[in-house]
Structures are given as structure tokens and as C-alpha cells.
Chains A and B, each alone.
Chain A
Amino acid sequence: MIRSELIQKIADENPHLYQRDVERIVNTIFEEITNAMARGDRVELRGFGAFSVKKRDARIGRNPRTGESVAVEEKHVPFFKTGKLLRDRLNGK
């Protein structure tokens, strides 16, 4: 399923809404999650999962082609942990 298919499903269920509003609604949800993580906040969606930010320490990396050492700066990466309900549903529980 891709973004446009998700939008279409929501639009089909809500014939009273304009398609462009459904697009704005779906886009707002994902935008809000990304914005939260960009601020370092967590987004916890019970039953579905939680989005958080993890810190990766600075390290000495290596260019795999040349074997040369390169300093990699500390950075923050997005992380998702599946919620219990969804994890159980994936396994037919």
C-alpha cells in the first residue's frame, strides 16, 4: 500500500469530504510525526507503535572500498517500535 492508496481508502469511507482535504489530513498526520522527531520528541500510538529518536555516538568509520579511516560525527536517527496489539495481530493472536 502506498500513500495515494491510503488516501483513497479514507476518501472512499468519507464521501462527505473533499479528496484534497483527505490528502491534507493524511499528509498532516505523517508531517506531525516527522516534526515531533525532528524536535527530539516521541510519538506513542498505543496498539500501533512508537516513534522515537535514538542517538548514535561519534565513531571512527572506515571507507569499505579504500579501508581509509573517517571520523563519523554523533547523530540522531529515527526509530520505530511495534506496539503490542499490532505485533500480536501480525502473528494471528
Chain B
Amino acid sequence: MGDKTLTRMDLSEAVFREVGLSRNESAELVEAVLQHMSDALVDGEQVKISSFGTFSVREKAARVGRNPKTGEEVPIQPRRVLTFRPSHLMKDRVAAGNKR
């Protein structure tokens, strides 16, 4: 199993190799993609990338939490959380690629 961590740099390098734009422009395009996805999610939109997966925003109700160390009760405000549901294709590829 791999133990590398890829970053934006690796994604822009892949774009650079694939399309032959400058490294700088490739990096800007990677950033633009992440920015558009983030903006849509912040607007409460779902982001559905076919054969990759779906990002959705869920509303969580307020609840009483507890500090696990002190046992003290703390109110948790209502909040919005992001969930990612991988596509079947991604699940299959990740399962197959990591099978030993």
C-alpha cells in the first residue's frame, strides 16, 4: 500500500503533462476548480462529479455535547457539514488497487 501524500503541486503537474500549459497556469486551473467547487458548496449546492463522487452539505441540529475529559456539558451549535459519497467506480478502483 502506498504511503505518499499528493498535494496541489502533483495535480498541477499532472495537468501540465496532460495539456502542455505552463506550470503556473496549470496550478491556477487546479485552484480554480477547487474554488468553484467550494463556492457551490458554500452556497448550499450539491457538487456531483460523475464517476468520481458527490459532495453534499448537511445541516446538523444543535445538541448537547460533553467534554470527554472533564465530563462537562457543552452546547454544540447547529452547523453545516460536508459529506463525500464516492461513486461506485471510485469504490471499485480503490478496493481493487489496494487488494493484496
Contact = CB atoms under 8 A, between A and B. Distances in A.
B34 A48 contact: yes
Contact of A9 (B2, B36, B94): B36
A89 B79 CA distance: 11
Contacts, number: 160
Interface string A14-32: 1001000100111011111
Given A39-B2, A89-B42, A32 B94 contact: no
B50 A41 contact: no
Interface residues of B, number: 55
Contacts of A9: 36
Interface string B84-100: 10100111011111110
Given A3-B49, A80-B84, A44 B14 contact: no
- Highest count of chain A CB atoms <10 Å: which of B1, B55, B94: B94
A38 B93 contact: yes
Interface of B: 1-8, 10-11, 14-15, 18-19, 21, 26, 29-30, 32-34, 36-38, 40-42, 45-53, 55, 57, 79-84, 86, 89-91, 93-99
